[in-house]
Structure 1
Amino acid sequence: MTDPAALTVLTALPRRPGPALPGPHPGPDADWPGVDDPAALRGLVARWLAGYGAAQTRRTYAYALGLPPEWADAVTGADRPARAAGSGRTPPPARRGRLHHLAYFRWCAGHALDPRAATAAHVTTWLHALDAAGAGKRTRARMLSTVSAFYAFLAEDGVIDANPAALHRGRLGLAGTSRDPSPTIRLTADQVRALWAAAAALPNRTRHRELYARRAVAYVALLCLGLRISEITGLDRDDLVVSGGERVLRVRGKGGTVREVFPGAATVDALTGYLLLRDREYGDPLPARTGGARRSPLLATKDGGRCSRHDLHQLLRRIARHAGPPLAEVADRVHPHTLRHAYVTLALEAGAPIQHVQADVGHASIATTRHYDRSLRTRAGSAADLVTGLVTETGRERTGPPDEREDPQRPRADA
């Protein structure tokens, strides 16, 4: 249920919230171009966002629609200064990407269109604008899903008659199938090992060089567990617990679901080594305090705050660029999901039961885990070399011209 105080906070947000809204072509007195009752629309957005228990989900949806993160935070009634200090689980807001001006609410504002009056034709036009701006298929499908979720809420609430974003994705070329190749590059075990080594030797000229190197190793170790970047930024120190005599990480995944992940000995060493050194330099206790409102992030900035997704993404790129020859050709294509992808593919390649891998990475459906299985194909499982050999000069030398090949039905000359 929506907190009335939080709803008041959201509806009372500044009429001109900087660059978030209105859109790229606002009028001189526009509050929300095309919207006659912006407070009512804000209230609907508040009730929709408040229906999601996970802070990161609320922020992701708000960001995808072009709204400021304060809108997602306000519905919880949380204290923003406390979050800014790094004591809450919510990480800093994401940086604006190149498609931010085409986020759905911003696009509607730019066309003076009330989102509640949008039709399927409007949504389709918006998708074409994203396509023209270079948004990939997966990006468009993900943004459409966010818009559709919002309209589904409005339809259930009786605000609109039908969901205009309930489009035929196949006709739009957005329907994913099990045959679609993953755009994520596949890393070998040697390449992942090189990332781990590069993290330990990452250059840093400050007096905290060793601490930063240990944090980089701890970060790579967490990625090597197949965790999502949003899950890593949300981890607290007291999420590393002992359960059943084993070290366990309690990870909050999509939808606020919690799963237990079993880190290996090397990962536990990386995490505890980093935390011990951090305690020595900054005085934080180990293990973390429990029972209080204050939470200590598992990976922290130099001032004790929670690391942002952008900062960790850039850190991984730095590590990849210092990994030497094994990553030389793919360093600029390495991102956090690459390591999650590597975890699944390497585990399946090693013969791990797919159900175990599904549980490790928190896939809601085993079909998602199977999607990674396609990456296990190798050159040995392809007929490409055989066909190439048949149609090139190299193949002719190896097999001989057709008229000189041995025909089992034709008598041999030396018979």
Structure 2
Amino acid sequence: MTSLVPRQAGTPAGRTDAEQVTEAWLANRRLSPHTRDAYRRDVAAWLAWCADRRADPLRATFLDVNAYARALESVADPRSGRPLAATTVARKLSGLSSWYDFLVKLRAVDANPVAGADRPYVSRDHSATVGLTPAEVDALLAAAGAERGPAAVRHRAVLALLADLGLRVGEVVGLDVTDVGAERGHRSVRFVGKGGRPRRRALTPAASAALDAYLASGPPRTSGPLFVTGTGARIDRHAVFRLIRRLAEQAGIAGAERLSPHSLRHAFATAAREEGVPLEDVQDAMGHADPRTTRRYDRDRHNLDRDPAYTIAAARARRSSA
């Protein structure tokens, strides 16, 4: 691959031109560390695919991208053994498209080959995440509450933020001690949401108590990561995945091995809508730019008990009896 950007001072020796371009592209975008790593892997996989076929990524066409997409669809997910989901393939192509958009701006390529490619259809009304009922969330919290040992208070605090606030796992593990505070009579937590947007949420009494108990369980800390391991390192998302599945298994929740922290985020949205919280308030709480995304998280949205026809008929009955 020809050089697209000048080698920056301090660039590690041996870093390829493609890697330099990728790092420049990532630095130009507001992304979470997790998303940044995922995009980096996606571009590296595309470049490796091109290299295996002696294809020049700078001369790739939509036909090459189509062939790559079909190859991805035939790859087995190492976690499930099944072919990659359409959402996963679409996400990989989305990252690759953004990378090519950056190359277009650099005038390294004339056009984005992903733009004309045949991407998998992903319904905005569908999510592959396994959800949880309110009773199952209660059982999960009860399992965390029954734990004993030095890590138990940390587990309860992590679960409280996931269940009561519906935060993303990356938002939880990325919290620092200084992010917990108080605003206008509310205990609150500040964090960087998706897209690098600074956000804040109110802590429920249960979440506040769980955090206080966790912070009081160790030596006083005024800075650094909020949730740490026994060695003082920041906990990672994989540890939270394992925690959710272990507690779900202890609680006897069906399909525990398929649950994730995102299952609690879906449960938060569903419960909030079921309790009558307006869609726009749930959307704001979850940090969604598009209300259609919030609706997809609402697992009970197709419940016929919530059909607005009943509300209209009830209003008409009240008018006729007045």
* Alignment TM-score, normalising by the size of structure 1: 0.66
In the TM superposition, residue 374 of structure 1 has moved relative to its aligned partner by 5.3
* Structure 2 residue identity aligned to 1:271: L
| Partner Cα distance (1:297, 1:316) in 2 | 21
Task: Report the counterpart of residue 210 of structure 2 in structure 1.
Answer: 270
Note the 1:86-235 alignment, pairs <5 A.
Answer: 103-133=45-75, 134-167=83-116, 169=118, 172=119, 174-178=120-124, 180-202=125-147, 209-224=148-163, 225-235=165-175
* CA shift digits 1:277-319 (9 cap, x unpaired): 0x2xxx233xx24xxxxxx211111111111111211111111
Task: Report the counterpart of residue 50 of structure 1 in structure 2.
Answer: 27
Q: Of the two, which has the highest radius of gyration? A: 1
Where in structure 1 are there 5+ consecutive unaligned residues? 16-37, 67-102, 203-208, 290-295, 383-415
The structure 1 residue matched to 2:37, chosen from 59, 81, 90, is: 59
* CA shift digits 1:342-399 (9 cap, x unpaired): 11111011100111111111111222112233533347689xxxxxxxxxxxxxxxxx
Note the 1:297-316 alignment, pairs <5 A.
Answer: 297-316=225-244
| Partner Cα distance (1:362, 1:6) in 2 | 37
SS in 1 for 2:240: helix
> Cα–Cα, structure 1 residues 380 and 355, in superposed 2: closer, same or farther, change >3 Å?
closer
| Partner Cα distance (1:374, 1:301) in 2 | 34
* Structure 1 residue identity aligned to 2:212: T
* CA shift digits 1:231-265 (9 cap, x unpaired): 11111111011111211110211121011111100
SS in 2 for 1:259: strand
The structure 1 residue matched to 2:249, chosen from 321, 329, 341, is: 321
* CA shift digits 1:113-169 (9 cap, x unpaired): 332222211111111011011110100110000000000010111110100011355
SS in 2 for 1:247: strand
* Structure 2 residue identity aligned to 1:354: L
Note the 1:276-295 alignment, pairs <5 A.
Answer: 276-277=216-217, 279=218, 283-285=219-221, 288-289=222-223
* Structure 1 residue identity aligned to 2:38: T
> Cα–Cα, structure 1 residues 316 and 6, in superposed 2: closer, same or farther, change >3 Å?
farther
* CA shift digits 1:155-191 (9 cap, x unpaired): 111110100011355xx4x23334x432222311110
1:251 equivalent to 2:191? Answer yes
| Partner Cα distance (1:359, 1:307) in 2 | 27
1:241 equivalent to 2:177? Answer no
SS in 2 for 1:112: coil
| Partner Cα distance (2:255, 2:154) in 1 | 23
* Structure 1 residue identity aligned to 2:19: R
| Partner Cα distance (1:168, 1:123) in 2 | 6
| Partner Cα distance (1:243, 1:216) in 2 | 25
Over 6 Å off, 4+ runs: 379-382
Identity %: 37
* Alignment TM-score, normalising by the size of structure 2: 0.84
The total of aligned residue pairs comes to 294
* Structure 1 residue identity aligned to 2:105: E
1:348 equivalent to 2:273? Answer yes
SS in 2 for 1:363: coil
| Partner Cα distance (2:191, 2:66) in 1 | 37
- Greater CA drift, 144-153 or 113-122: 113-122
